[in-house]
């Protein structure tokens, strides 16, 4: 077992965001146990971390969380409450927990202000946002590549912190292709489809020309993109079809995106990511409690796709470098 692992797609909920997570449990029968696990940010979670060789966990609010609130003022209020709750856990266990900011993306200026507060006042390590945001009406989906969010990205760039783009359940009104097949909308398929499109929109929006230092993190071994990156560039070279980037899309992805192993503990997919991205841009994470922490760690500790030096980089030292966690080596 690799000791001292660092993970950072690790979810918590507060009472105001817990209910919307129930859809992820589906008909599994595990809602009661799941709800207890995602509300816990104390000794129970730390005991599980210790059992599996995890030294440090960066917490984030559950999906869809703040992004599922249609009222802007409610989103601002609940995001602050979620962040303050995580800050309490970090203050109590500073050597075991860090946090990503939950943000009210319903309003770019408010999101910028809350991110700044979390980084400068609370010592957070970046932000995790659950894909698109609803605003004003339930049947709405706002993606962050549009010009209205350039001021927000300027703040992220100035603060120089990573932004984790995490999936959420697709809206029925935006996904008629899933009619009659509700199982497709969530983690088995729809999560990656929606989040990968969001990421590709970012690559084609020009935002990485404006802010070349942005670092966007994707979970689940890159939401299918590494596997398809060559084909995306090849077909767009043949016919750009309105693509607005100044460089091939693949260059933006390779320059500005990082990926974690969260929720995708599969050797062939892992090897593909290593071949496409390289060991320096891949990070271990578990996706707890949406995934079993023991399963994630057993796979990572035993996979033969990597050697022991690569295991140490992906499991620990890459994260220390990205988040400046040198205090963990003291």
Taking phi over 0 as left and psi of -120 to 50 as alpha, with beta for the rest, 206 belongs to: left
Contacts of 257 by beta carbon, 8 Å cutoff, 6+ apart = 199, 215, 216, 217, 218, 222, 225, 281
- Which one, of 7, 284, 199, lies nearest residue 273 by Cα? 284
**27 in catalytic set:** no
List helix spans (H) across 3-71. 15-18, 22-25, 31-39, 43-51
Are the C-beta atoms of residues 12 and 326 closer than 8 Å to each other? no
β-partners of residue 58 are 98
Contacts of 301 by beta carbon, 8 Å cutoff, 6+ apart = 1, 2, 53, 311
82: helix, coil or strand? Answer: helix
Phi, psi of 41 (to 5 degrees): -130, 40
Rounded-to-integer distance, Cα 318 and Cα 303, Å = 18
Phi, psi of 216 (to 5 degrees): -105, 130
Q: Of 107, 145, 194, 287, which residue is the catalytic one? A: 287
List helix spans (H) across 63-146. 72-92, 108-120
Instruction: Considering only the C-alpha atoms of the chain, give the largest distance between any 2 of them, rounded to a whole number of Å.
Output: 55
211 burial via Cβ count (<10 Å: 0-12, 13-18, 19+): middle
Contacts of 151 by beta carbon, 8 Å cutoff, 6+ apart = 108, 109, 112
Catalytic residue positions, numbered: 287
């Amino acid at each position: 077992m690799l000791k001292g692992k660092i993970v950072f797609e690790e979810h918590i909920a507060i009472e105001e965001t817990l209910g919307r997570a129930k859809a992820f449990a589906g008909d599994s029968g595990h809602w009661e146990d799941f709800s207890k696990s995602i509300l816990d940010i104390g000794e129970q979670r730390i005991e599980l971390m210790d059992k599996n060789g995890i030294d440090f966990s960066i917490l984030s609010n559950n999906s869809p969380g703040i992004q599922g609130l249609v009222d802007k003022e409610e989103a601002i209020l609940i995001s602050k409450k979620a962040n303050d709750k995580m800050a309490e856990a970090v203050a109590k266990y500073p050597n075991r927990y860090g946090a990503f900011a939950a943000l009210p993306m319903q309003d770019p200026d408010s999101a910028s202000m809350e991110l700044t507060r979390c980084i400068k006042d609370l010592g957070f390590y970046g932000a995790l946002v659950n894909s698109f945001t609803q605003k004003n009406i339930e049947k709405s989906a706002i993606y962050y590549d549009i010009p209205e969010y350039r001021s927000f990205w300027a703040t992220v760039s100035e603060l120089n912190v990573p932004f984790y783009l995490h999936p959420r359940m697709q809206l029925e009104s935006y996904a008629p292709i899933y009619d009659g097949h509700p199982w497709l909308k969530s983690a088995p398929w729809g999560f990656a489809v929606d989040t990968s499109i969001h990421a590709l929109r970012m690559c084609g929006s020009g935002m990485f020309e404006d802010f070349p230092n942005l670092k966007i993190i994707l979970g689940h071994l890159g939401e299918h993109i590494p596997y398809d990156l060559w084909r995306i560039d090849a077909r767009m070279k043949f016919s750009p079809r309105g693509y607005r980037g100044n460089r091939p899309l693949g260059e933006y992805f390779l320059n500005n995106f990082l990926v974690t192993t969260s929720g995708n503990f599969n050797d062939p997919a892992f090897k593909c990511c290593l071949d496409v991205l390289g060991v320096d841009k891949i990070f271990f994470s578990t996706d707890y409690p949406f995934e079993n922490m023991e399963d994630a760690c057993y796979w990572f500790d035993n996979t033969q796709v990597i050697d022991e030096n690569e295991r140490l980089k992906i499991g620990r030292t890459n994260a220390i470098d990205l988040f400046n966690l040198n205090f963990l080596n003291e």
